[in-house]
Amino acid sequence: MRAVRIAGVAVAAAVLAAAGCSSGGGSGTGGGAAEPAEPLSVWQFYGDESMPTGKPLYDLVARYEQQSGTDVDIRFIPYDDFNRTLTQAAAAGDGPDIALISAFDTAAMADAGVIQDLSPQVQAWGQQGAYFPTGWESTQADGKTYGIPHLADAYAVYYNTAMVQKAPTTWAEMESTAAALSGQGRAGLAVSGIEGAEGATGLAIRMLAAGVQPTQIDSPGGHAALESFRRMVASGALSEGFLTWNEEDAKNQFATGQAAMMINSATYVNILREENPDLQWSVAVLPSEATGQTMLSAENLTIGATSDDVDRAWDLITFMQRPEELQVYLPERNKLPARNDVPGTAEDPVRAVFAQQLQQAWAPDAALAPHTTELLTALQAALQQAISGTPVPDAARSAQATIDEALGTS
């Protein structure tokens, strides 16, 4: 996730801009007809047009093409290759007009010269106040705005209403309720604990509830979070198998009645509705102690540093953020709005809970963002060790050393 500082991007941008005076959207010379504008280029990692994660984006852009008469070329680049491909293309002067990037890579991409400062466009647009603060903060670097939040996702508690009358509001209640609901092959709670960054989300949420940052695992709050997971496994509230589950596995445990509750993202709202229509369930905000914060997941729309078609690129970005377009797009994409004025969100009781949860969202700051994967991977390792019998102080100390080294604070 570490960005590579790019030399020469500004020069390449200037060269391309100069070339754009006689090509692309420019007019022909000698009184001839204007040449057709080149298609806008959009790079993204959601998926191609045949994939359920990609098709909604293609459909959204197709509506823009129909309404504006502008052609748009969308390129799908797998997530693991995306940042490298984008930075290399920018260095070569051949980046896209629009890049849909992870929100937490925005500051690093800005610092590396991969994306453009959009502050003048944003100031004239004047809609920044409609966005949830945590998501909007991810677009900022050095006092400038480098992107527009595209969508958001957050974690909350799903619960089986045939088994749970009221979702727990504190972590003490979560532990006791989940333990009481366990037995006969069923766990009270399902959450991903798989090796790697994905499996650390539950622990990070538990740490935030205890009032400590995810960077502070070797602290009283960090120890308390690890102990909480140990108690839940010991009581049967949480299956020890959760250490092998990704978020899809946790969803399957809940959908099949093998777990009475789960902590998961809004991604699974429509999936449960479509695939498990007879399942009785609802959602609630996360249990709290010092806080009830969730983990934010988000992407930002940015304009590439080498784009010479900024006006049309900005027009497409603002189209993609129209509330009436998001009202159609977001349910198809199984995601949440990054802004608070999208029609229909409040009318859907489930999505309204997620929107409420988004107002208490944690995201890494600009300094931490490039190291988020290293941080979360270290937290999952501590969780794995603690569940496997390593004393909590030792597991936390080892993870803290890894985190401090990654952040350069050791």
pLDDT at residue 124 above 90? Answer: yes
Residue range(s) in the chain whose domain bears CATH number 3.40.190.10: 9-152+297-359, 155-295+365-407
Which of 196, 162, 399 has the alpha carbon at shortest distance from 279? 162
Which neighbouring-strand residues pair with 282? 159
Q: What is the pLDDT of residues 343-402, one digit of tens each?
A: 988 889 999 999 899 988 999 988 898 899 899 999 999 999 999 999 999 999 999 999
Please give the Cα distance from 104 to 146 (Å, whole number). Answer: 12
Name the CATH superfamily for 9-152+297-359. Answer: Periplasmic binding protein-like II (3.40.190.10)
pTM over 0.85: no
Please give the Cα distance from 364 to 127 (Å, whole number). Answer: 24
Task: Give whole-number Cα distances, 93 to 3, 8, 19, 68, 400, in Å.
Answer: 17, 9, 12, 27, 40
Residue with tokens 């803290």: 400
Residue 356 structure tokens: 């409420």
Task: Give whole-number Cα distances, 352 to 15, 42, 97, 157, 160, in Å.
Answer: 48, 31, 34, 13, 18
- First-residue to last-residue Cα distance in the chain: 20
Residue 26 pLDDT: 35
The dihedral through the CA atoms of 44, 137, 225, 370 has a sign that is positive
Q: What is the pLDDT of residues 63-121, one digit of tens each?
A: 999 999 999 999 999 998 999 999 999 999 999 999 999 999 999 999 999 999 999 99
Which of 201, 182, 336 has the alpha carbon at shortest distance from 268? 336
Residue 344 pLDDT: 86
Please give the Cα distance from 354 to 335 (Å, whole number). Answer: 10
Candidates 3.40.190.10, 1.10.1660.10, 3.90.550.10, 1.10.3720.10; CATH matching 155-295+365-407: 3.40.190.10
